[in-house]
Amino acid sequence: MRVNSEIRVRLDRVRPERPRLTSVLSSLLDDVLRRNAGEPEFHQAAREVFGSLEPVISAHPRYAEASVLERLTEPERQIIFRVPWTDDSGRVRVNRGFRVEFNSALGPYKGGLRFHPSVTLGTVKFLGFEQIFKNALTGMPIGGGKGGSDFDPKGKSDGEVMRFCQSFMTELYRHLGEYTDVPAGDIGVGGREIGYLFGQYKRITNRYESGVLTGKGLGIGGSLVRTEATGYGLVYFAQEMLATRRESFADKKVLVSGSGNVALYAIKKAQELGADVVACSDSSGVVYDAGGLDFDLLRHIKEDERGRLADYAARRGSASVYRAGDNLWTIAAETKIDIALPCATQNELNGHDAKLLIENGVIAVAEGANMPSTPEAAHAFDEAKVLFGPGKAANAGGVATSALEMQQNASRDSWSFDYTEDRLADIMRGIHVRCADTSEQYGEPGNYVLGANISGFTQVANAMLAMGLI
User: pLDDT tens track of the chain, all 470 residues?
Assistant: 333 333 333 333 333 344 456 778 999 999 999 999 999 999 999 999 999 999 999 999 999 999 999 999 999 999 999 999 999 999 999 999 999 999 999 999 999 999 999 999 999 999 999 999 999 999 999 999 999 999 999 999 999 999 999 999 999 999 999 999 999 999 899 999 999 999 999 999 999 999 999 999 988 988 888 889 999 999 999 999 999 999 999 999 999 999 999 999 999 999 999 999 999 999 999 999 999 999 999 999 999 998 999 999 999 999 999 999 999 999 999 999 999 999 998 899 999 999 999 999 999 999 999 999 999 999 999 999 999 999 999 999 999 999 999 998 888 888 899 999 999 999 999 999 999 999 999 999 999 999 999 999 999 999 999 999 99
Instruction: Sketch the domain layout of the chain as residue ranges.
Output: 1-69+228-395+444-470, 77-209
Q: What pTM, to 2 d.p., does this model score?
A: 0.89
- What is the structure's pLDDT at 223? 87
**Residue 362 to residue 276: CA distance in whole angstroms:** 14
Q: Is 1-69+228-395+444-470's fold the same as 77-209's?
A: yes
Q: pLDDT digit string (tens) for 345-367?
A: 889 999 999 999 999 999 999 99
The CATH number of 1-69+228-395+444-470 is 3.40.50.720
> How high is the pLDDT of residue 21?
64
- Taking the C-alpha atoms of residue 316 and residue 185, their distance in angstroms, rounded to an integer, is 31
Four-residue CA torsion sign, 395, 98, 373, 70: positive
pLDDT of residue 413: 85
Chain length of the chain = 470
pLDDT of residue 16: 34
The Cα–Cα gap between 229 and 138 comes to 13
> Catalytic residue numbers?
146
Alpha helix positions (H), 206-332:
229-243, 261-272, 295-299, 309-316
Distances in Å between the Cα of 188 and the Cα atoms of 114, 118, 415 are: 6, 11, 26
**What pLDDT sits at residue 306?**
86
- Residue 17: what pLDDT? 40
Predicted confidence at residue 35, as pLDDT, reads: 96
How far does the chain reach from its first CA to its final CA, in angstroms?
57
Domain 77-209 sits in CATH at: 3.40.50.10860
